[in-house]
Amino acid sequence: MKQCFVYMRLKFNINFREEIHTYMKLKKYAKYLCMKKCILFNYFYCFS
């Protein structure tokens, strides 16, 4: 089986509202790409 990983680094000076907005966008894209898991790890969003 093949797994795809997409990492997106968030800026450290990002504010809370923007971070939530970014997360929602990533979640939307993840759903669109039929990816199952989304975890936040060291300012990286990992879709697997």
pLDDT at 31 over 50: yes
d(CA 38, CA 31): 10
Which has more pLDDT, 27 or 39? 27
Measured in residues, the chain has a length of: 48
pLDDT at 38 over 60: no
Which has more pLDDT, 30 or 34? 30
Angle at 5 between CA 24 and CA 42, to 5 degrees: 65
First and final CA of the chain: distance in angstroms?
12
Longest C-alpha distance within the chain, in Å? 38
pLDDT at 25 over 60: yes
Average pLDDT, the chain: 51
